[in-house]
Amino acid sequence: MRFAVVDIETTGGFPSQHGITEIAIVLHNGTEIEGVYETLVNPHQPIPPFVIGMTGITNAMVEAAPSFHEVAPQIYNLLKNRVFVAHNVNFDFSFVKHHLKEAGFDLSTPKLCTIRLSRKVFPGFPKYGLGHLCRQLNIEIENRHRAGGDAKATAKILDMVLQNNGERLVKEMLQKENREQLMPPHLPGHFLHDLPQEPGVYYFHNKQDKVVYVGKAKNIKKRVLSHFTGLDLSKKRQDFLREIYSIRYAVCPTEFIASLLESIEIKRLWPAFNKSQKRFEQLWGIYLFEDNRGYLRLAIDKKHKNTQPVQAFSLLADAHRELWKWVREFELHPALCFLDKTIPNEWPDVQLHNQQVEKAIAWIAEEKASYIIKEKNTAILVEKGKFVGMGTIDHLEVAEPLEPTYAAAIKEAVTPYAENEVIKSMLRKYLERYPHRVVRITE
């Protein structure tokens, strides 16, 4: 097996925004080093002071160096028929692949991470960063934080892995079906192996054990793996992968239960990498008022503190969609709901129109009734249109009509949770799609 042990120095952490200032490639045949390639690279952008302080590579040093485009053919030829090896391989591989692609070369080689290999071959060390690991293994690094020194030290780590019966492990990690090398560098492999293939919610934790991301899944293992496949070079993705140190999960009976729990947990934990539901707020409402001609009018407007809409929405498009549904369902005139700007030749009868509006309002009130949704062994309880909570009810039967006393027993069995706009929207859509699964609670 032939390896190319690679280390690079860069102007920053993201391939699409930053350049390579130095690259070193140690060619290894599985037994010994065959050759070393090393060069400074002109990144054609300023090197930040903190990077200069860490690496010692200055703007003056790279000024006369070749650009990556100039050395790309040679680099590609050195890498193309070998296993790409690096300490925290996704970082180096993402930079090299990105810049090779910009130079017209498509690098598609297997890759190995010496952090992940070392965790398996040398378990029990407190840390597996290059400096810490070399101290534990008594490997001397010459020229630390320079590509040549770090690449040669990484090659020595690879040597020690292979000498400690690591060849079988290397082959396993390179198998097509084994995705472990795609995982974040700080995430031990057992977290992936232990994931169930069931619906539920999963939590990504950082180094301080704080939850940084919450997700839901129909199949937890499959969904978690999907986060780590591909080669997304964006800043967001790179930050995300570097923050993941452990995974926790909660199995749920169904995907819908998982969706509710995900929303609850995002609001409770406010994870750094969850974005969409944090901005989910009630911003629009459908309001009812009587105009000077006596018509009851329905209108969409921004939600204000001291006003109570008939129904509230986070998106203007959702409010329009719902009001159009009422117009069709109750044969309301679109112009009297501000959905049609043209003036009709003949207005509808005031009394008949108002009766239809009142029917619509009564129907909406009915939607705010109390009910239970049973998903397998779990009950979701809603009282007067408000989400109360959910929980396991193995010992209780749910049959319609459900009397208040029996509903009270179910309420005791469920865990209370705070309602939010995402949950309200999900319940509304569920009622529309699966009305036969809803058990009403009699008054």
CB atoms inside a 10 Å sphere around CB 417: 21
Q: pLDDT under 50 in the chain at which residues?
A: 176-181
**Candidates 145, 186, 205, 353; catalytic one:** 145
CB atoms inside a 10 Å sphere around CB 46: 11
Cis-peptide into 401, omega within 30 deg: yes
pLDDT tens-place string over residues 173-184: 887 434 444 568
pTM: 0.56
How far apart, in whole angstroms, are the C-alpha atoms of residue 383 and residue 393? 17
> CA-based Rg of the chain, rounded to a whole angstrom?
30
Residue 180 pLDDT = 46
Residue 341 pLDDT = 84
Is the CB of residue 1 less than 8 Å from the CB of residue 80? no
Is the CB of residue 297 less than 8 Å from the CB of residue 337? yes
Percentages helix, strand, coil for the chain (3-state, rounded to 5) are 40, 20, 35
384: left (phi over 0), alpha (psi -120 to 50) or beta: left
Residue 278 pLDDT = 64
Catalytic-residue membership of 436:
no
Is the CB of residue 103 less than 8 Å from the CB of residue 72? yes
Q: Write b or e for each residue in 342-354: b if 16 or more Cβ atoms lie within 10 A of its Cβ, otherwise e.
A: eeeeeebeeeebb
- Tokens, residue 330: 């109750």
